[in-house]
Amino acid sequence: MSLEDYSKKRVFDKTSEPPAGNAALFTGSKKSVPGNGDSLLRFVIHKHYASRLHFDLRLELEGTLKSWAIPRGPTLNPKEKKLAVMVEDHPFEYRDFEGIIPEGNYGAGRVYIWDKGTYHAPGTEDRHESERLLKEGLEKGHMTFILNGNVLKGEFALIRLKKASLKDWLLIKKNDEYASDADISKLEAPDEAADAVLPKKKL
């Protein structure tokens, strides 16, 4: 995955999505462009009313946002395993993106920030050590992390499915104090209730 893939799919004079910028130059380097020293890594969950409603998990790693589309939305229930399809990396600036992607463009539809916060690898909140461990887990196909968001909290794992497309992963909530059987996929984004123009689409 690369920001080149992100740019190829978009015409930036026809969408308000942020361009890739210069972060791609630093992808794979030891220094993460967006962070400032000891700052924690960021994550965001977008609620995306595209041709079919889905959620997008985006994790900051090595200057970009590693991204997975979650067709049925995330969960806090350890008994549920949610399909997460890895998509192209997104620029770090995408963490703040909300708005309407016009018809005729890739991913056309309304995008909301559903949840956001910081995250780190289990056992350390150090940015650089977290990135090292997370990158190692990503390459092995078993990535474990702690989310500190408004909705999603606690330990999660992304596990790449074997004997399937390399893009297909499972998002699983670990059994901890934040585990719950509540259906959080029905929660609205903070700005969603005020948007009366939103075309509703079912999961």
Q: What is the pLDDT of residue 15?
A: 77
Position 21 in a domain: no
202 domain residue, yes or no = no
130 located within any domain: yes
Domain carrying residue 87: 3-13+36-177
Q: Give the total number of structural domains in the chain.
A: 1
Tokens coding 113: 């920030």
- Reported as a single tens digit per residue, the pLDDT across 145-156 is 999 999 999 999
Q: What is the pLDDT of residue 164?
A: 65
Per residue in 95-104, pLDDT (tens digit) is 999 999 888 8
- Pick from 184, 3, 199, 4: nearest CA to 108: 199
Q: Decide if 144 is inside a domain.
A: yes
Flag whether 87 is in a domain: yes
State the pLDDT confidence band at 66, using cuts at 50, 70 and 90: very high
Give the integer Cα–Cα distance in Å for 123 and 112. 31
Establish if 194 belongs to a structural domain: no
| Residue 199 domain flag | no
Within a domain: 20: no
Note the pLDDT tens digit of each residue in 18-59: 788 754 434 433 344 455 555 899 999 999 999 899 999 999
